[in-house]
Structure 1
């Protein structure tokens, strides 16, 4: 029985089922998904009455919306390169196969399906048929290679785990029947994040250099709608980044998923006598582990909310307990500003660390530029598990202002001892071992967990700096570099290194904030440039627009795909995306736009010589007054105009919206009109819902 997913899968469709077969493995059972029930079964023989639809790269998963289930299949995959001889692919195109032959249309169903398709299309997702890319090489070396690939996957980074639930439940026999190992090759784990693989060299020494960033499926979401930590200890925007060097990598060229049985293992032949050697280093990033949020109000700087640290201690303990179990010693690098609005987040983080560790010892360093250049909180003697936390604050803003970004290297003085003790992973693939198991020569026993407010821009600058430092040490240990040399001495490799880390910054930032990262000119070139500052301004402006007006539906897509929101089965009621605000409030942005249009038109339109001046001036003045009032109203009641998530609206958004609506009702100009219109709308909506209920009952009887 194959332990790895099938590389070639054919889809056969009929009115009663979808059937999935592997032409290169004719003895394997056929996976059948019955229509429209969605029941799954295995069939040993070929099914009659089904026609072959297409060849696919794999099954991404099965998702249930309000009216129907959809099988999401990967129709196109792009080879990205090989890791340890195993080809890795990126998901390029997918297709949603409905279980109902004739789909029932519903405004909610259509909207959710559109959101999902756009989310899957834009999401950078990667997979391999033969290597577990959800796990670091160190964790892979400790895993049981006799288990199917999906069972070895790291649950945090098994991005499609929720939509694989139906297949996994069928495989494990949850609640009905026994184990179904024949389903293993149809379950394909997918990673969300960034992956780059490049063949390079320093001097005359060739090697493969790779960078992988895995985004956690827990507390996934967008910038202002997913902050801080939940009660289970999962933090927002958590990413694990692994930097990999592979020596003696004699793998072959790219291969597609249509490889025959000889390629089913995914391995390419290596040269005997030169064992393949892998060195990797892992870093993590994640939101500050306290209960906090930033509330959009249409102002450029959102309103910051932080709950008491005491309420989050147990959740933070769960978070760090997992981090210590997985990575060992944790060096917590905090890069938020020590002044202004970010100061509250800094103090909350430090209070949390003091609460968790026993006998905290604190040291600070200052200079003429900063009263607190660095702060360290740790314990001299470890008495309990949480004493393996070591907090380091670095005043990134003050140390690097004036384009002096090279001063970020000062952080290395605080971390060098921990980096040396924590070491890195090094493993050898022994010749003749067909499983590809690694013989461990050294292990990484500590991790640097870096954060700024968003865990995006400043974080990536520091992580790339640490990556360069550890890479130099690895290459010196391997004999490629001599003591005193640096990997950055080779200009060709340095350009590759910088651009790979800058790509990493952009991918992580895009999935969270909707734009590329800031400060990537420094990561790409080593210098902070004026052009880079202009690009950062454009990205900041784009982030403002997206975070306030476009991220609500994007957050809904995260919640749908990851299973944080389960659509109800009832179709009674209007669309969840119908605008429930009073019509007068909805109309004010249009009034503003119309007023500005008239003003601009009048300023740039030539006036007839014999026309009266004062009526036009009065009319323009009136438009100015209307535009000023409309703008003032929108700013004063900004929460009414933010595009909030509709499926799982955050509690702070619900409260803020109601407060803003209450203030709007008290407005001297439009308040009475809003109140009267709202009363009429409630009566109309109640009548409409009643009629829809009768229609739904009739539809069910017809079906």
Structure 2
């Protein structure tokens, strides 16, 4: 049983309080574990460690009185009878992170427990739907955007490299996968424009080319390729206007939803922008914040707060809050996915890159390298366990009994190898300088050089084995 033991009110939505989980605790409830085998007890201990990882997961929200998994447009268009159903029935299942935990209660129609109503916490995962909401003078307005990784079959497996190579998986079903993905988006959001922010060279370029080739087979979806790094570099945020000029007509036609004080729908969002880079964190968040800014200006003009020649940037305090909102949203998504704050956050927060931002980005990049290589496998296992992607089977083999070299994986061995490598390089350098003066050091130099070269070869050849990789659901 998962119990929320600390929370913080972070705001209101439609007049109802919204809470962020500050701390939670898993309580074991199965007395039968006392009679488990030794291996089952070891497995249970590891599963509990995974659940402790979940306990510290950031960015989980809930509300007792309103469903925060539904966007405003869907909420307005659902029948009143549907909205009066229990939250677990009306919620969008994609964003209910604890759906698996509630399965038995839902199966037994148990929307009440001990006389108290149950509530669902909503959250987004690999596919992220971001809603920018405005409530002003009785009006409610909303812009929806989505982000998600490139929807072809590909992989990027950590191997101690700073940028692990991307591999496109050739499969006869690739085109069908892409078509189904965009068909689902059309069913949910209407016309879709795909904005691809990846580089056009190297591994990213190959992936982008493959994506573009598949998108040519979908004439009803507009695909826009924009090399963010090439055009905007590290600081030319204003160059994003080039992208906006390319897509502005379609973006404005897609519109936004606007509801008046009586609940009448005055405007409706007719489509959506789907943005991506590689991890859909940094470049994507910068781009989405710009589109949010453009839409907010249009909404305020429509309501009458701004004239047709004014924009949100002229309202200094409101614009500062807007940029802070998007910067913090980018940080939260990045913390959930990568364990660090977003890169390029000062582009969103200040419209330019700062010295402090560059230093912060460098530290975050180093942290991501460490987490990607030595912790993300465990975090993925924890999420697979809590979300129900992996189901514990007491009659099957233990998922944690590893054989061969893979059992030596993860940080301790990688750290030892790194220490040996650094030590070998240091000793080799010292003895090499001494060799000119002391011939007896020559043999030592050769030996340590050989050891260092050997360690380097082993690490390079078996980089994946040193890294933390998922063990419950595995890789493709």
TM-score normalised according to structure 1 size? 0.61
SS in 2 for 1:295: coil
The equivalent position to 1:283 in structure 2, one of 140, 145, 153, is: 145
**Cα distance change on mapping 1:72 and 1:413 into 2, 3 Å:** same
Which residue does 1:427 correspond to in 2?
A: 259
Contact 1:592 1:631 in 2 (8 A): no
**1:160-199 aligned within 5 A:** 160-171=98-109, 182=112, 186-192=117-123
**Cα distance change on mapping 1:584 and 1:479 into 2, 3 Å:** closer
Task: Tell me by how many angstroms 1:88 deviates.
Answer: 0.4
**1:374-389 aligned within 5 A:** 387=220, 389=221
Task: Tell me by how many angstroms 1:187 deviates.
Answer: 3.2
Higher relative contact order (CA 8 A, sep 6+): 2
Which residue does 2:433 correspond to in 1?
A: none
Counterpart CA distance in 1 for 2:118 and 2:216 is: 44
RMSD value, Cα: 2.7
The equivalent position to 2:26 in structure 1, one of 70, 90, 96, is: 96
Task: Tell me by how many angstroms 1:600 deviates.
Answer: 5.6
The equivalent position to 1:581 in structure 2, one of 405, 410, 416, is: 405
Counterpart CA distance in 2 for 1:513 and 1:159 is: 18
More displaced 10-residue stretch of structure 1: 575-584 or 282-291: 575-584
Counterpart CA distance in 2 for 1:464 and 1:282 is: 12
**1:331-350 aligned within 5 A:** 331-350=193-212
How many residues are aligned here?
Answer: 459
SS in 2 for 1:648: coil
Contact 2:147 2:284 in 1 (8 A): yes
**1:525-604 aligned within 5 A:** 525-570=350-395, 576=400, 580-581=404-405, 590=416, 593-594=419-420, 596-597=422-423
Counterpart CA distance in 2 for 1:120 and 1:162 is: 16
Is 1:458 the counterpart of 2:347? The answer is no
**Higher Rg of the two aligned structures:** 1
Task: Tell me by how many angstroms 1:103 deviates.
Answer: 5.3
Task: Tell me by how many angstroms 1:326 deviates.
Answer: 1.3
Contact 1:287 1:453 in 2 (8 A): yes
Counterpart CA distance in 2 for 1:343 and 1:510 is: 27
**Cα distance change on mapping 1:351 and 1:82 into 2, 3 Å:** same
Task: Tell me by how many angstroms 1:120 deviates.
Answer: 2.9
Deviations 1:272-310 (A, max 9, x none): xxxx32111110001111111112222222122112375
SS in 2 for 1:409: helix
Task: Tell me by how many angstroms 1:467 deviates.
Answer: 0.4
Task: Tell me by how many angstroms 1:503 deviates.
Answer: 1.2
Which residue does 2:45 correspond to in 1?
A: 110
**1:464-543 aligned within 5 A:** 464-543=289-368
> In proportion to residue count, which structure has more strand?
1
Counterpart CA distance in 2 for 1:554 and 1:484 is: 49
SS in 2 for 1:288: coil
SS in 1 for 2:163: coil
Task: Tell me by how many angstroms 1:182 deviates.
Answer: 4.4
Contact 1:592 1:626 in 2 (8 A): no
SS in 2 for 1:465: helix
The equivalent position to 1:355 in structure 2, one of 207, 211, 217, is: 217
> In proportion to residue count, which structure has more helix?
2
Which residue does 1:324 correspond to in 2?
A: 186
Task: Tell me by how many angstroms 1:486 deviates.
Answer: 1.3
Which residue does 1:314 correspond to in 2?
A: 176
Counterpart CA distance in 2 for 1:557 and 1:300 is: 24
Contact 2:421 2:456 in 1 (8 A): no
